[in-house]
Structure 1
Amino acid sequence: MARLLDEFIGITEALNTRGIDYAVCGGWAMAIHGFLRTTIDIDLIILSEDLDAVMETARSLGFDIEGLPLNFDNGETLIRRISKIDHATKELITLDFILATEKYEDVWKDRRLVKWNAGEYRVVSVAGMKVMKEAAGRPKDLIDLDYLRGLDDED
C-alpha cells in the first residue's frame, strides 16, 4: 500500500502542478473520508476536455500501458485506464480516470478541497461518493455506502 500511496501523491501533485482539475474517488476518497480499506488502484474523476493532458501527465510518471476505453450504463459512465509495472515488486499499478459525464455533473460540481496526509486534494464529497457507490453497486461499494451513510455530508 505504501507504494500505491507514493503513486497517489505523485499523480495528484503532478496534476496540481500542471493546473489540471480532478477529484479523488474510489478507495482513496474513502480513506480521505476516514474509512480505511484496501484498494488496488487510483481513481480520479476528470473533465473530458482534460483527458489528453491527464494521460500525458500519467505517461510522464511512467504509466505506459493503456487499457481499452471502458463504457458502462449506455455510455453514461466512461473510464480511461492507464497502468505501469512497478519494477521493484513486478505489480501492476493502475490509474482509472472516470470522465465527468452528465451522470456525474453534480458529483463533479460538489467536490471538495481536503487536507489529508500532509497534502491538499480535490475529493468527491460524501454526498457524491454515495451517488457513485450506489451506481457501482458491487459488494465492496455497498460496504462503503453503509459507512458513508453514517457521515455528515459536510465533512
Structure 2
Amino acid sequence: MESNLPVPVLSQDFQDFIRLLSEKSVEYLLIGGYAVNLHGNIRTTKDIDFWFNPKPQNCERLEQVLFEFSGISVPEGSLSQPNSMLQLGLPPNRINLLNEPDPDLPFSPCYERRLDVLLEGLTVPVVSKADLILLKRHAGRPRDLLDIQQLGEI
C-alpha cells in the first residue's frame, strides 16, 4: 500500500544504505523514530532502525549490503539468530538492524501490512501504524510509551 505520509529528510548515508537494500532485494521494514515521524508524530531521532526478515536467504542478501556499504563481514548465519541486532556508525547517523524486535510479532504479516513511502526518491517499506504501536509497547522505554500516546492521538 502506498502512502502520502510526512517525509523526513534522510542523510546521504541512510539513502545509500536504503538504495543497497533495494538493489539486493532485502526484505525489511523501517521502524523506530523515522517510522514514528512518517506516521505523523514529528520528533528528533539519533538513528534509523530497520527490521529485516530473518530468513537465511534474506540474511545472505543483507550480508552483501553490509559488505558493500561498510566493508563489514558478519559471521555466516549470525543475522538469522534470534534477537540479532547490529549497529553501524554513530548518532546521528547510526543504523540499527534488528531481526526480532518483538518475538510475539512475526515479520511476514507485518511486511504484508506495510506502507510503501517515497523518501528522497527511494521507495521505503514502513511498518504500519498499528504494528509500530505494538513494537513500541514491547520495547516499553519512556520514549516508546510517549510515542504510543502521541500516535494514538493522530
Q: TM-score, with normalisation over the residues of structure 1? A: 0.72
Map 1:73-88 to 2 at 5 A.
78-84=83-89
**Cα distance in 1 for residues equivalent to 2:147 and 2:129:** 11
After superposition, the Cα gap between the structure-2 partners of 1:37 and 1:65, relative to the gap in structure 1 and judged at 3 Å, is farther
- Point out where structure 1 has 5 or more consecutive residues left out of the alignment: 70-74, 86-90
Q: Shift of the alpha carbon at 1:34?
A: 2.3
Aligned-pair RMSD on alpha carbons?
2.9
Deviation at 1:102, TM superposition (A): 5.3
Contact 1:63 1:84 (C-alpha < 8 Å) held by counterparts: no
Shift of 1:56: 2.5
Give 2:110's match in structure 1, choosing from 93, 107, 110.
Answer: 107
Work out the number of aligned pairs and report it: 137
The residue that corresponds to 1:62 in the other structure is 70
Q: Is contact 1:23–1:108 with CA below 8 Å preserved after alignment?
A: yes
Look up the equivalent residue of 1:111 and give its one-letter code.
Answer: R
2:149 is the alignment partner of 1:146: yes
Distance in 2 of aligned mates of 1:83 and 1:37: 22
Length-normalised TM-score, structure 2: 0.73
Q: Name the structure where strand makes up a greater proportion of residues.
A: 1
Q: Secondary structure at the match of 1:103?
A: coil
Using the aligned pairs only, state the percent identity. Answer: 22
How many Å separate the matches in 2 of 1:31 and 1:15? 21
Q: Please give the secondary structure, in 2, of the residue aligned with 1:43.
A: strand
Unmatched tracts of structure 2, length 5 or more = 1-7
